[in-house]
Amino acid sequence: MHQFIIQRTLYSLVTLVILSMTIFAIVRLTGDPALLMAEPGARPEDLERIRTQWGLDRPWPVQYLSFMQNVFQGELGKSFNYRLPVSELYFQRLPNSLELALVATLISLLIGVPAGLISAVRVNGWWDNLGKIIALLGLSIPGFWLGLVLILVFSV
């Protein structure tokens, strides 16, 4: 059991490192972050000042190592849009995210457990077949897309 937990923890850490490297590379490959931070029509010297201020003038590996060092120290940087520390924004929004996750879990439990019990008791019945169809639809629709569609449907 301990070996399983250690193995899963290591897999999670490797996944997080690969994910952070991928996101870091994609952000750098999609354009110059300094252009996003500067006002439209910024002069070249303003862009250079922003690159120096944010460390974007250094090589990518140095930028990534600096980023990871800051993450391990709990310093997540400043938001480009809000000009506030990311950790401050994160903790401001955490209660709402936890509330949303709790409500979603409760709804899934209130619907999922009774639906599973009914399907188990009435094998090959109408409800069981409906559950199979819904499961097939759920497997064929990507979760992120379904989530966006549901947000649009229920938020309007």
Write down the pLDDT at residue 139.
64
Inside any domain, residue 20: yes
Residues 65 and 98 in one domain: no
Inside any domain, residue 56: yes
Inside any domain, residue 132: yes
Write down the pLDDT at residue 36.
76
Residues 59 and 6 in one domain: yes
Inside any domain, residue 66: yes
CA–CA dist 98, 102 (Å, integer): 6
Structural domain span for residue 14? 2-75
Under a CB-based contact definition with an 8 Å cutoff, are residues 60 and 51 in contact? no
CA–CA dist 70, 152 (Å, integer): 36
Write down the pLDDT at residue 96.
93
Write down the pLDDT at residue 106.
93
Write down the pLDDT at residue 138.
66
Inside any domain, residue 80: no
Under a CB-based contact definition with an 8 Å cutoff, are residues 20 and 68 in contact? yes
Residues 49 and 98 in one domain: no
Task: Please identify every stretch of the chain with a pLDDT value under 50, giving residue numbers as ranges.
Answer: none
